């Protein structure tokens, strides 16, 4: 079951029966088994509903989860036979609107626009990020974008994580979108990333090939899985070594969610500053993972001309590189 990302608090007077909002659904869990006895309610419900504990805890705070008609607490210890009633609110309708947000434009014509996305900017609106995104900025600047991905992701051919900076290409019409998407799918378009990782990578070059899927313990993360999932491949080369840290250039052969972040963690070298896959403290000041989309090469969808664009290393990563080169990381 998918939880609505945006919840609406209902105010009810004491003694009033809680009214289920229009469009909401009431879900009743099956009875808790003897094996589930003693689990916290949030742990039990997260497993039963296929969502995260934070989702469940949020809904408990909103009064959307009950047992025997009474609100339940997150730390309630489940008893054998317990049944819970869960009110699932409908997802909020999202529509991307133009916003006057500055863009660092590397190239633009009637078919495509290439931008240098800053760290901290979300690519398209979603629950929790309804505005302030790259799409909002593009709609203000371009007026026309391809409509293949709908009203929430117009023009978006490929994504960068919120805290990954660098070069991105967006399509202004459907013909350009289809051409660019095909180039990415057929691995004709080339994408390289600059990353700063923990540890000393001994090999000068490497190839990582795995299956990636949602982490069963945390649905907001991706993980390498023994079977199922989707095939993912990354090539990397070492550029600089500094004992406890290594600077690498990664080339994507596929474009899976969090691919470089998961793959580098998988080989024991997580990205510096990665809050999701390497949450340990770092001696550097950076908000998010030290990962930058450095270069993108593609064939222009109208002319067929090969084009390459490079985004300069952002200031926060450049500061880290300078400190590494001067031995200032102890």
Which residues are marked as active site? 161
DSSP 156: B
Q: Which of 4, 229, 222 is nearest to 126 (CA)?
A: 4
| Phi, psi dihedral angles at 209 (to 5 degrees) | -135, 120
Question: Is residue 100 helix, strand or coil?
Answer: coil
Pull the structure tokens for residue 294. Answer: 């450095």
Give the CA distances from residue 36 to residues 54, 59, 64, 79, 230, in Å, rounded to whole numbers and listed in that order. 19, 21, 22, 8, 32
Give the CA distances from residue 87 to residues 1, 245, 304, in Å, rounded to whole numbers and listed in that order. 12, 48, 53
Residue 21, Cβ neighbours under 10 Å: how many?
A: 12
Radius of gyration of the chain (CA): 23
- Asked if residue 74 lies in contact with residue 40, where contact means CB atoms within 8 angstroms, the answer is yes
- Strands 112-117 and 165-171 come out as antiparallel
132: left (phi > 0), else alpha (psi -120 to 50), else beta?
A: left
Measured at the CA of 64, the angle between CA 4 and CA 3, to 5 degrees, comes to: 20
Matching residue, tokens 């550097």: 284
Sign of CA dihedral 128, 133, 135, 140: positive
């Amino acid at each position: 079951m998918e939880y609505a990302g945006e919840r609406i608090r209902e105010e009810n007077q004491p003694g009033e029966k809680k009214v289920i909002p229009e469009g909401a659904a009431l879900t009743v869990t099956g009875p808790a088994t003897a094996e589930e006895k003693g689990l916290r309610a949030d742990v039990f419900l997260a497993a039963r509903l296929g969502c995260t504990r934070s989702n469940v805890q949020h809904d408990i705070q909103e009064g959307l989860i009950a047992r025997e008609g009474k609100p339940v607490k997150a730390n309630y210890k489940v008893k054998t036979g317990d049944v819970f009633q869960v009110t699932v609110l409908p997802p909020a309708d999202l529509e991307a609107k133009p916003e006057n947000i500055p863009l660092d434009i590397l190239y633009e014509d009637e078919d495509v626009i290439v931008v240098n996305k800053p760290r901290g900017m979300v690519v398209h609106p979603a629950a929790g990020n309804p505005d302030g995104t790259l799409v909002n900025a593009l709609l203000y600047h371009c007026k026309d974008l391809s409509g293949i991905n709908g009203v929430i992701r117009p023009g978006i051919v490929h994504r960068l994580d919120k805290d990954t900076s660098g070069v991105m290409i967006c399509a202004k019409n459907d013909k350009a979108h289809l051409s660019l998407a095909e180039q990415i799918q057929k691995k004709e378009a080339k994408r390289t990333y600059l990353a700063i990782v923990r540890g000393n990578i001994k090999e000068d070059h490497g190839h990582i090939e795995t299956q990636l899927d949602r982490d069963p313990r945390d649905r907001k993360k991706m993980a390498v899985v023994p079977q199922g999932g989707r095939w993912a491949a990354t090539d990397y080369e070492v550029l600089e070594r500094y004992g406890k840290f290594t600077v690498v250039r990664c080339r994507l052969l596929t474009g899976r969610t969090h691919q470089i972040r998961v793959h580098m963690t998988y080989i024991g070298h997580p990205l510096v500053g990665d809050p999701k896959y390497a949450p340990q403290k770092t001696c550097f000041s950076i908000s998010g993972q030290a990962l930058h989309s450095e270069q993108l090469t593609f064939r222009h969808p109208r002319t067929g001309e090969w084009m390459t664009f490079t985004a300069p290393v952002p200031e926060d990563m450049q500061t880290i590189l300078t400190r590494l080169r001067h031995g200032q990381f102890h």
